[in-house]
Amino acid sequence: MKKYICPICGYVYDEAKEGVKFVDLKDDWKCPLCGAPKNLFEAEAQVVEEIEELEETDELREMSYGEISALCSSLARGCDKQYLFEEAKLFTKLSDYYNKKSKTKTINNLDELLSKINEDLEKNYKQARLVATKKEDRGALRVITWGEKVSMILKSLINQYEQDKNFINKTKVYVCDICGFIYIGDNKPEICPVCKVPSFKLLEVGKEG
Amino acid sequence: MSSLRAVRNLRICSKDCLCLYVCPTGATDTETGQIDFEKCIGCGACSKACPSGAISMVPYQYPKQQVKDKLVVEKLNEIIRSKVEQEKMAQYVYDNSDDVVLKQFSKALIRANRLIVEDLYREAGYMLPQSQNTRDFLNKLLDENIENDIKDDIKKLLDMLELNE
Ligand code: SF4
Ligand code: SF4
Ligand SMILES: [Zn+2]
Ligand SMILES: [Zn+2]
């Protein structure tokens, strides 16, 4: 008997209590709390990953326009929180300006996006977590934990979309305005399963036209 | 003078107007809804009285930003780069699709990636708009070849944001 854990909200599926083996659950079984699909669940005993030595490089890198735009919109939020509305407006204007200057990245299908997400999950987030743990940076650990969970959700949603393009047709799409979690379904959860913010921060993305 | 001042969060304020009665200086009673900080003496009475928790007492100067470890920043920057690229991929899908649902889905993906990156930047040394990092960033933008009105906006920001470090 094993326990399986929802990587998004932490819900525990306990085979001993449920009386049904996890593998025997239907493929379309979903986390009863947050709707995460079955294939995301992880068995409780985890393999401890090897710790590699990560070295600091001193490369000074130019920021892309897309990065500049995102930093400006981040600072706009920072000003907004401090009630500096004039400053927030200016940062938002800068963010829009650099967003227009930045180029889109051509892809042929969503698989290319998926492989970037996989790279984040398999390498980038793992390394970042290792370093943040070692340096005891809990703020960084928070952003890593949230980002990892949201990435997993994005991955599974893209997979679902590729399997059945109609799965969004008759329902709604919400994005958590704090952490970026996407929820696709009729009724949004009461709190964001990733960052735990109340549901009024889950904003709907409507269909255009 | 007090080191604190009252600010009202208009998104929470339920207009119960208790703060109007308790403020000794009339600072809470304004046509814009914002508390008049020139009148505010920072006594905190409005904040305690507000039934909605809409008024916070905030410092004139925020504490200095936490210093971030270089390697942590570097690793977060790697994720940032990757997520920005993903945002740009989703943007491409959005721009080049006529399908209503795919447009909706890619729009959500654009937004999700942007939010992830904004959050990452806060932990990668840009928590405080008043930090040296933010100043360095803005100054660097000024070196580039950009339109004059954008330059003016950047200069305005550098003037308005008092360095706190
Ligand atoms: S007491 Fe609070 S809720 Fe009422 S008007 Fe003042 S700020 Fe708004
Ligand atoms: S802190 Fe005191 S002076 Fe300032 S607005 Fe509130 S009640 Fe008025
Ligand atoms: Zn869950
Ligand atoms: Zn969230």
Q: Which domain does B115 fall in, by range?
A: 70-123
Q: A21 in a domain, yes or no?
A: yes
Residue nearest to atom 6 of ligand 2 (CA): B46
ipTM of the complex: 0.84
Q: B84 in a domain, yes or no?
A: yes
* Residue at a domain's end among A56, A76, A103: A103
Is B6's C-beta closer than 6 angstroms to any atom of ligand 1? no
By C-alpha distance, which of A163, A64, A164, A158 is closest to A113?
A: A158
* Domain match, B40 and B84 both: no
Please compute the mean of the pLDDT values over residues B58-62 and round it to a whole number: 86
Q: A95 in a domain, yes or no?
A: yes
Asked if A119's CB is within 8 angstroms of B82's CB, the reply is yes
* Domain match, B10 and B52 both: yes
Is B7's C-beta closer than 6 angstroms to any atom of ligand 1? no
- Tell me the C-alpha distance between A76 and B33, whole Å: 21
Tokens of A190: 């009461």
In the 8-state DSSP scheme, what is residue A122? Answer: I
Q: Do A85 and A77 form a contact (C-beta atoms < 8 A)?
A: no
* Domain match, B101 and B79 both: yes
Q: A142 in a domain, yes or no?
A: no
- Closest atom, ligand 1, to C-alpha of B18: 1
Residue B12 belongs to domain with CATH number: 3.30.70.20
Q: B131 in a domain, yes or no?
A: no
* Domain match, A32 and A2 both: yes
Taking 90 as the threshold, does the pLDDT of residue A1 lie above it? no
Q: B162 in a domain, yes or no?
A: no
Residue A26 belongs to domain with CATH number: 2.20.28.10
| CB contacts, 8 Å: B112 with chain A | 150, 154, 175, 180-182
- Tell me the C-alpha distance between B81 and B26, whole Å: 49
How many Cβ atoms are within 10 Å of A47's Cβ, its own excluded? Answer: 6
Asked if A70's CB is within 8 angstroms of B112's CB, the reply is no
Taking 50 as the threshold, does the pLDDT of residue A47 lie above it? no
Quick one: how far is CA A40 from the chain centroid?
13
* Domain match, B54 and B74 both: no
Q: B25 in a domain, yes or no?
A: yes
- More confident of the two residues A175 and A10: A175
Rounded to two decimals, the pTM is 0.81
By C-alpha distance, which of A199, A182, A26, A79 is closest to B130?
A: A79
* Domain match, B43 and B79 both: no
Predicted confidence at residue A48, as pLDDT, reads 40
Asked if B62's CB is within 8 angstroms of A206's CB, the reply is no
Q: B18 in a domain, yes or no?
A: yes
Confidence of residue A55 (pLDDT cuts 50, 70, 90): low
Which amino acid appears at position A23 of this protein? V
- More confident of the two residues B78 and B33: B78
In the 8-state DSSP scheme, what is residue A198? Answer: B
Q: B129 in a domain, yes or no?
A: no
Give the closest of B75, B150, B160 to A87, CB-based.
B160
* Minimal-distance CA residue of chain A relative to B128: A78
How much of chain B exceeds pLDDT 70, in percent? 99
| Ligand 2 interacting residues, C-beta cut-off 6 A | B 6, 22-25, 27-28, 35, 40-46
Q: Do A103 and A64 form a contact (C-beta atoms < 8 A)?
A: no
* Domain match, A43 and A83 both: no
Confidence of residue A93 (pLDDT cuts 50, 70, 90): very high
Q: A35 in a domain, yes or no?
A: yes
* Domain match, B77 and B108 both: yes
Predicted confidence at residue A53, as pLDDT, reads 52
Q: How many CA atoms lie within 13 A of A10 on its CB side?
A: 7
Please compute the mean of the pLDDT values over residues B81-91 and round it to a whole number: 98
- Tell me the C-alpha distance between B69 and B79, whole Å: 16
* Domain match, A70 and A41 both: no
Taking 80 as the threshold, does the pLDDT of residue A114 lie above it? yes
Taking 70 as the threshold, does the pLDDT of residue A45 lie above it? no
Give how far Cα A138 sits from Cα of A133, A134, A196, B128, B131, Å.
Answer: 8, 10, 17, 17, 20
* Residue at a domain's end among A79, A103, A127: A103
Taking 80 as the threshold, does the pLDDT of residue A141 lie above it? yes
Strands (E) in A53-204, as ranges, are 173-176, 182-184, 202-204
Per-residue pLDDT tens digits for A145-158: 999 999 999 999 99
* Domain match, B41 and B81 both: no
Q: B96 in a domain, yes or no?
A: yes
Asked if A107's CB is within 8 angstroms of B93's CB, the reply is yes
Q: A177 in a domain, yes or no?
A: no
CB burial of residue A148 (10 Å; 0-12, 13-18, 19+)? buried
**How many domains does the structure of chain B reveal?**
2
Q: A123 in a domain, yes or no?
A: no
Q: Which domain does A79 fall in, by range?
A: 65-103
**How many domains does the structure of chain A reveal?**
2
CA angle at A123 for the pair A119 and A127, rounded to the nearest 5°: 150
